[in-house]
Structure 1
Amino acid sequence: MKIKHISHLQDQSNCKLFGLLSDNEEIHSFELTNKNGIKVQIINYGATVTSLKIPSTNGKLIDVVLGFDTLESYLQSYNLPSPPYFGTTIGRYAGRINKGTFTLNGKTFQLAGNNNGNTLHGGNVGFGKKVWNVTDLTGGDNPSITFGLLSENLDENFPGELHIYLTYTLTDENELKLEYKATTTEDTVINLTHHSYFNLNGHDSSVLDQEMVIVSDKILETDSDNIPTGKFTDLTGHNFDFRKPKNCPSSIDNSFVIEPSKEIIAQLFSSETNLKMSVYTDQPSVHIYVGGNCFDTLKGKENANYHKTSGICFETQNFPDAPNQPHFPNSVLKKGEEYQQTTVYKFENIK
């Protein structure tokens, strides 16, 4: 399934070379633009969103996601003490798996302990560090791009050969829509998510003066390693009760339990730019994370100095460690079945 070129794409006008890997494999950047002037740039390394520019009320384009200008910086970011995973696709399993182990159909699988002995975001070489194929690219109304990836059997020691497709669509309703599909040759576990850090004031500022809503009355209780205990924490009277708008916290790394629906599950508001972002998903959780520090080692886009409050993630996904928690939502994808997930980030001006 690996295609090292894009010559099969009929329209390459919105495609440009982004950089070269160590083996001289070319990584390309693709731009989608809708009729309202929103522009999103995505590279086929990690199927990663590098830029998302939204027109504000004064007509200025505001880049609302953190990222890097060069492929080299994305590669280097994975060597940081805690990689930021800017804008990338997380898999096979988003979040943490306790002690990097799970049992499926009576067989125990030991994964990489890349986070304090636990598995985080798919292990040492997750989907964000893989070269994806571009299988389709459309222009005109509601432009879209589809990426494909083949994850071999026992890739990072997960069972089954997994075929994944991810379609990004930039709708004329100012939505960035993500649709995931996956099939496997053997029963496996799966949890995919998107890891953009959003900042509606622009990627080179702080999110602390932006307000957030999360339609959730409980979070997963976690231990000191941020592994779910299996219990839930009621948010009534809690600092993380965001059912009414409150400023983004300076530190958060928590999974909020949501009711999958066609309704808004989270929102972010900026009074400075008059922008709001609404999040929709069919997943049972949204993991909220404020971070993305580059440890004063790497520069962000446009020479920005990213710090711990530069951006906020809305990672729509299944619960972390669900393979080890029988009462959590099912994380097993069976042979012959199809994994599907849809997440939408919608942008509007605050009336």
Structure 2
Amino acid sequence: MFKNHISQNNPSLNRKFFGLTPKKEEVYSYTLTNKHGMEVTVINYGATITTLKIPNSEGLKTDVVLGFDKLEDYIESFALPSAPYLGAVVGRFAGRIQNASFELNGKKIQLTQNHKTHQIHGGKNGFSQKIWAVTFEPTEENQSITLEYCSPHLEENFPGELTVKVTYTLTENNELAVQFSAKSSADTLVNLTQHSYFNLNGHQEDINHQNVVIHADTMLETTEELIPTGKFIALKNHDYDFSTPKECPAIIDNTFVLNDNKAATLYSEKSKIKMTVTTNQPAVHVYVGGNCFGQIKGKETADYHPTSGICFEAQNFPDTPNHSHFPNAILKKDELYTHQTIFKFENQLL
């Protein structure tokens, strides 16, 4: 737990106007703050985490997630050569679905294609680009926010009206807890994740020399287009064996099969910040990126590049419905989907 070395104010509601969409929809930011001075800011466009600030003993705060200063930049980022999904909630289905199709109850479902002939991250206009309703705002007593989105039947060709909720809670143990739930009016496919890019030296830095641990003995084998083949790769003596700390690779876009609820850790010797990721999901997809191709500036005019940050996308396996031996991702009518991932932060300079 952080020691209380910095002057504290009681946590209070922080709601600010963030911008208007082209359709004149209002977007607001909401800031959660705990007694140690840790801050998390969320906007209701894409239920997106825009900032996550970790304090040290002098009261200086490091913003450890990539993001943009303006709503327009979040919107325009989806037109980049490879959309980065900075800080957004991804759905209905995180990751790739081969040929954008799967079979459900004996019927072939043809989804929209937005990744060559495949679908990625929910399609052309997924949850990351939606306006979410804020159903619970943070209070002094409860540094938590709940956002809700109702996805219509056949949106991106997914069956069923799906009501999704995400709750972000900032605890006094310096944990950011992410809790998803979802219910559908018909059998459908669901796989949600939080897509923040982390850099423990600050969002303007390079990720390369930070140490990664991933609690997995196997990862999914994929094709050249990064579609799972259905086979598994043993990680012992593999380049992507992160069972012991190893420097963050410059290129990685792989799904790791978790041994238990411990997913990963990230540590910076420079900032002395450690992040631990735990989840109830069967996998974590690890991706290094954030590139904005020199077309959009990040926060504080940062130039985000291919090694600006690392994502730990806790989720089910990509292309799950097309592999009978993968964990089930079908949500039955009126059943409840749940997913919890926790990002815990420790700072050795405190």
Distance in structure 2 (CA, Å) of the matches to 1:243 and 1:141: 39
1:277 paired residue number: 275
For normalisation by structure 1, the TM-score amounts to: 0.95
Letter in 1 for 2:126: G
- Tell me which residue corresponds to 1:166: 166
How far apart are the structure 2 equivalents of 1:138 and 1:80?
33
Separation in 1, partners of 2:117, 2:52:
35
Q: Give the equivalent residue in structure 2 for 1:326.
A: 324
Which residue matches 2:248? Answer: 248
Name whichever of 79-88 and 135-144 sits farther off: 135-144
Query: Which residue type is aligned with residue 333 of structure 2?
Result: K
Q: Distance in 1 between matches of 2:59 and 2:251?
A: 32
Counterpart for residue 347 of structure 1: 345
CA distance in 1, matches of 2:175, 2:94: 23
**Pairing 1:171-186 to 2, within 5 Å after superposition:** 171-186=171-186
**Is the 2:13–2:31 Cα contact (8 Å) retained in structure 1?**
no
CA shift for structure 1 position 60: 1.2
1:191-230 to 2 correspondences below 5 Å: 191-230=191-230
1:6 match: none
User: What are the Cα deviations for residues 145-197 of structure 1, in whole angstroms up to 9, with x where unaligned?
Assistant: 00011000001000000011100000000000000000000000100000000
Unaligned runs of 5+ in 2: 1-10
TM superposition shift of 1:25:
1.2
- Percent identical: 53
Task: Say whether 1:104 aligns with 2:109.
Answer: no
- Code of the residue aligned with 2:227 in structure 1: it is I
Question: 1:57, 1:274 within 8 Å by CA — same for their partners in 2?
Answer: no
Provide the secondary structure at the position in 1 that maps to 2:131.
coil
Answer yes or no: is the 8 Å Cα contact 1:17–1:26 preserved in 2.
Answer: yes
Structure 1 Cα separation of the partners of residues 12 and 25 of structure 2:
18
**Counterpart in 2 of 1:313?**
311
Which string of whole-angstrom CA distances, capped at 9 and with x for unpartnered residues, describes residues 1-56 of structure 1?
Answer: xxxxxxxxxx9941010000112111000000011101111000000000001003
- What are the Cα deviations for residues 87-123 of structure 1, in whole angstroms up to 9, with x where unaligned? 0000000000000000100111111121121100000
Q: Provide the residue aligned with 1:61 in structure 2.
A: 61
Mapped partners of 2:224, 2:152: distance in 1: 33
- Secondary structure of the 2:137 match is strand
Report the 3-state secondary structure (helix = DSSP H, G, I; strand = E; otherwise coil) of the residue aligned with 1:217. Answer: strand
Amino acid at match of 2:242: F
For 2:127, give the aligned amino acid: F
1:149 maps to 149
CA contact (8 A) 2:12 2:33 kept: no
* Aligned residue pair count: 339
1:57 CA drift (Å): 4.2
Structure 1: runs of 5+ lacking an equivalent: 1-10
Amino acid at match of 2:17: L
Conserved 8 A contact 2:13-2:139: no
> In the alignment, residue 277 of structure 1 is paired with which amino acid?
M
1:116 touches 1:225 (CA, 8 Å); kept in 2?
Answer: no
Q: Tell me, in whole angstroms, the C-alpha distance in 1 between the residues paired with 2:59 and 2:217.
A: 37
SS in 1 for 2:300: helix
Give per-residue Cα distances to partners, 1:128-156, cap 9 Å, x unaligned. 00000000013235510000110000010
SS class of match (2:249): coil
**Is 1:268 equivalent to 2:266 in the alignment?**
yes
Partner AA of 1:291 in structure 2: G
Question: In structure 2, how many angstroms separate the alpha carbons of the residues matched to 1:306 and 1:208?
Answer: 14
Label 1:242 to 1:279 Cα distance change in 2 as closer, same or farther (>3 A): same
CA distance in 2 between partners of 1:211 and 1:271 (Å): 8
Distance in 1 between the 2:163 and 2:31 partners?
A: 24
Query: Do the aligned partners of 2:13 and 2:140 also contact (CA within 8 Å) in 1?
Result: no
Aligned-residue Cα RMSD (Å) equals 1.3
Displaced runs of 4 or more, over 6 A? none
Corresponding letter in the other structure for 2:85: Y
SS of the residue corresponding to residue 176 of structure 2 reads: strand
TM-score under structure 2 normalisation?
0.95
Cα distance in 2 between the residues matched to 1:121 and 1:73: 19
User: Deviations for 1:272-299, whole angstroms, at most 9, x for unmatched residues?
Assistant: 1110000000000000000110001110
- 1:337 — aligned with what? 335
Look up the match of 1:297: 295
* Distance apart, 1:75 and its partner CA: 0.6
The alpha carbon displacement at 1:350 in A equals 3.5
Q: What is the 5 A alignment of 1:109-124?
A: 109-124=109-124
